[in-house]
Structure 1
Amino acid sequence: MKLYGVTGWKNAGKTGLMERLVTEIASRGFTVSTVKHAHHTFDVDHPGKDSYRHRVAGASEVILASRNRVAQMTELRGAEEPSLDSLLPRLAPVDLVLIEGYKRDRHPKVEAFRAETGNSLIAPDDPSIRAIAADCPVEIDRPVFDLNDTEAIADFILSEVGL
């Protein structure tokens, strides 16, 4: 599987770009999966639901399955957060895995950048960032795309990974 990331600071436009890239790349006939890093606690099930009750009762893992989707929840219960490398083998084979976040990992990435956030670019200190997708002009030694030019960003990523 080919890997490519979208990284950037909070509110830089990562999720919107990811969503548009998945739509664009899948529309070209490629299979795409995603991995998103969260810096906060989250739940995919809700209090009162059977799967939630199983997990709260002490189950280490809960698989919820229907004819429309399957979700697997693993309760870490104090164990270390799994690395990206340990999560990727859990995915079924696809043409491309797009990774949101994981800015410290070494896979190739596009940095999403919005001027209004007031943050500096990550790219100058990170050679794994191969391009910038920005809402403003950026001076850097890598390709710079308009943050909303999804087609051009998709072209770049697909070329980078050889698809």
Structure 2
Amino acid sequence: MKLFGIVGWKNTGKTGLVERLVREISERGFSVSTLKHAHHSFDVDQPGRDSHRHRVAGAQEVLLASGKRWALMHELREDREPGMRELLARLSPVDLVLVEGYKREAHAKIETHRAEVGQALIAPDDPTVRAVASDTAITLDRPVFDLDDTTGIADFILAEVGL
């Protein structure tokens, strides 16, 4: 599986870009999966649902399945958070995995940037950031795309990973 990351500070457009890239690259005939890192506690389940009740009761894993999809929820309890590579190994094979977050990992990535957020760019100090997608003009030693140029960014990523 090929891997490419989308990183950036909070509210810089990472999730919107990933969503558009998944659609664009999938429409080109490639299979795509995503891995998103969350820095906060999250729950994909809802209190009162059977699967939630199973987890609260102490189940280590709950596999929820229907005719449309299945989801495996694994409770870490006191265990350490698995690393990005461990999580990637759990995915079914696809042409490309887009990783949102994990900005300190060594994989190639594109940085999202919005001037109004006021954060400094990650790219100048990180050679794994191969390009920047920004809502403002930036002069940099690597490609800079308009944040809304989904086609151009998809072309760049596919070329970078050899697809």
TM-score (norm 2): 0.99
Indicate the residue corresponding to 2:50 in structure 1.
Answer: 50
What SS is found at the alignment partner of 1:154? helix
Partners of 1:139 and 1:98 in 2: CA distance:
26
Following superposition, the deviation at residue 141 of structure 1 comes to: 0.3
**Aligned residue type for 1:151:** T
Indicate the residue corresponding to 2:21 in structure 1.
Answer: 21
Report matched runs for 1:84-163 at 5 Å.
Answer: 84-163=84-163
Following superposition, the deviation at residue 119 of structure 1 comes to: 0.3
**Aligned residue type for 1:114:** R
Aligned residues: percent identity? 67
Following superposition, the deviation at residue 79 of structure 1 comes to: 1.0
Partners of 1:43 and 1:109 in 2: CA distance:
27
Following superposition, the deviation at residue 99 of structure 1 comes to: 0.2
Partners of 1:124 and 1:37 in 2: CA distance:
23
What SS is found at the alignment partner of 2:18? helix
Where do 4+ consecutive residues of structure 1 move more than 2 Å? none
What is the alpha-carbon root mean square deviation over aligned residues?
0.5
Following superposition, the deviation at residue 78 of structure 1 comes to: 1.6
Indicate the residue corresponding to 1:30 in structure 2.
Answer: 30
Q: Deviations over 1:137-163 (max 9, x none)?
A: 111100000000000000000000000
TM-score (norm 1): 0.99
Equivalenced residue count is: 163
